[in-house]
Amino acid sequence: MRLTTFTDYCLRVLTYVGTKGSGPATIDEIAGHYGISRNHVMKVVLRLGQCGYLETTRGKGGGMRLGMAPEEVNLGALIREVEVDTELVECFESGGGDCRIASVCVLRSVLHEALEAFFAVLDRYTLADLLAPKSDLARLLALPQPGGA
């Protein structure tokens, strides 16, 4: 399975905002620090705001902050929410798609089990886990070091 760029950017935005910690982060900051399109970041921020992962404020002095504690942002739940298509193969579609052997195919159940295992691992982690190397993240993203160092 390959996650979409959108999901990747969702994880990057949350990591940036969580690493920044103090003060709101802006779309321009995030786009600049990661070298990604401002328009992509805008779409990601909109979706993360709709889902409650970010709190956004418009206007001068505006920006975004985490909408919940990093420990509450479960990676499996987040990816299920923002990833548009987790169907690994056509037969995962409602009605089995157009596969002639879908009714007896063992591969379908094997792939389903593998997908569940993939999400089971993600379910064990939170944004807090991604933020564990906070000083290193801050250095690489050119942010002030946590604790003012």
Q: Where do the domains of the chain lie?
A: 5-85+126-148
**Matching residue, tokens 């992962």:** 53
First CA to last CA distance, the chain: 40
Q: Tell me, which fold does domain 5-85+126-148 have in CATH?
A: Arc Repressor Mutant, subunit A (1.10.10)
pTM for this prediction: 0.87
What's the longest Cα–Cα distance across the chain? 62
Residue pair 142/148 in contact (Cβ under 8 Å)? The answer is no
Residue pair 45/13 in contact (Cβ under 8 Å)? The answer is yes
The angle that helices 38-50 and 27-34 make with each other, rounded to 10 degrees, is 120
Kindly give the confidence (pLDDT) of every residue in the chain, 149 residues in length, as a single tens digit, with 9 standing for 90 and above.
789 999 999 999 999 999 998 789 999 999 999 999 999 999 999 999 999 999 999 988 889 999 999 999 999 999 999 998 877 776 666 666 677 787 788 888 898 899 999 999 999 999 999 999 999 999 999 887 766 54
Residue pair 8/2 in contact (Cβ under 8 Å)? The answer is no
**CB-hemisphere CA count at 13 Å for 27?**
18
